[in-house]
Amino acid sequence: MAAERSVAAVAAAPVEYRKPGLSKELYRYRYLLLLMLPGIVYFVVFHYVPIYGAVLAFKDYDVGQGILFSPWVGLKHFRRLFEQHDVARVFWNTVEISALRIVFGFPMPIILALLLNEIFNARFKRAVQTISYLPHFLSWVVVAGLITELLSPGRGVYGYLMRLIGAEPAVLLTSQAWFIPILVVSGIWKEVGWGTIIYLATMSSINPELYEAAVVDGASRWRRALSITLPGILPVIAILLILSMTQILSAGFDQIFNLYNPLVYEVADIIDTYIYRIGLQRFDYEFSTAVALTKNVIALVLVLAVNGIVRRFTSYGLW
């Protein structure tokens, strides 16, 4: 009897869980880690190693002495940054272009995803989706060439239509009034389809019983979209809005670099194009590094602020 009670006690005792060691975990997920390796190498080489170069913002760079042994000058280049009239202009241009992209561009994938979600013909829906996100895979070099040809007053569609109605076509890409609208519209056209993918994926996870109950209650398709679909994707919208703040001081270097010209520098010159000209064309590495470092610090503050605001009014956020 005593032996039986001992066996019963051992059987009833809780089994202690022993967490596997790090080496076993690494071996267990070795194939997944191998798939991650190229991405890890990319971020280390192109995002973490270059952080060392930020020290140039506090030095007078001498090629012979190198970054490490160049003389330290403290905040000299940052003082110069705030004294330059050009820097204030490019900061304002960057914020203006990025704000217009967010105001007009951020809602477009949401609207398109809501419209696509209401299409019941699967073949037509897939065709529209494919056509809308194909421009994402074109480089801005190609897209800029297409825009230049389409808006050409001599041989483009724009010039042909203007002459058809008896008007004299203007050169829009050299017009300060038209250049920013062209940037915003072409950016939306290129990325709107790609942006719908994550929203459509989120919509597919919404409980279909909610729609069935709404139909029984007599809710229209418009009401179902506003009361079920939109709240269902709200967490994703909040997260993507916060992440978009990281780009508010970038404004799309590739697009602007391939489209702009000296005639529109006044309105189209942004921080990244300014850094490119100052750093790589004029070889002023220290000052361009100071501008880039200031830009990144401001972007970090904006992300923290927007995340705090979103968390204050909703329960969503990055952290």
For the cut 90, the answer to whether the pLDDT of residue 61 exceeds it is no
For the packed helices 122-133 and 107-117, what is the interaxial angle rounded to 10 degrees?
160
How does residue 5 score in pLDDT terms, banded at 50, 70 and 90? low
User: CB-based contacts of 263: which residues, under 8 Å, 6+ apart?
Assistant: 174, 176
What does the domain layout of the chain look like in residue ranges? Answer: 80-313
For the cut 90, the answer to whether the pLDDT of residue 41 exceeds it is yes
For the cut 90, the answer to whether the pLDDT of residue 282 exceeds it is no
pLDDT of residue 142: 92
C-alpha angle with apex 55: 51 to 56, nearest 5 degrees?
110
DSSP state at residue 286: H
| Top CATH class, 80-313 | mainly alpha
Give this prediction's pTM. Answer: 0.77
9/42: higher pLDDT: 42
pLDDT tens column, 202-224: 888 888 888 888 888 888 888 88
Q: Determine phi and psi for 72, rounding to 5 degrees.
A: -80, 130
Mean pLDDT of 290-297: 85
Mean pLDDT of 178-205: 90
pLDDT of residue 143: 92
CA distance 210 to 188: 32
pLDDT tens column, 232-244: 888 888 888 888 8
User: CB-based contacts of 267: which residues, under 8 Å, 6+ apart?
Assistant: 93, 176, 179, 180
pLDDT of residue 249: 79
pLDDT tens column, 100-133: 998 999 999 999 998 988 888 888 888 988 898 8
pLDDT of residue 185: 92
pLDDT of residue 293: 85
How does residue 283 score in pLDDT terms, banded at 50, 70 and 90? confident
What Rg value do the Cα atoms of the chain yield, rounded?
A: 27
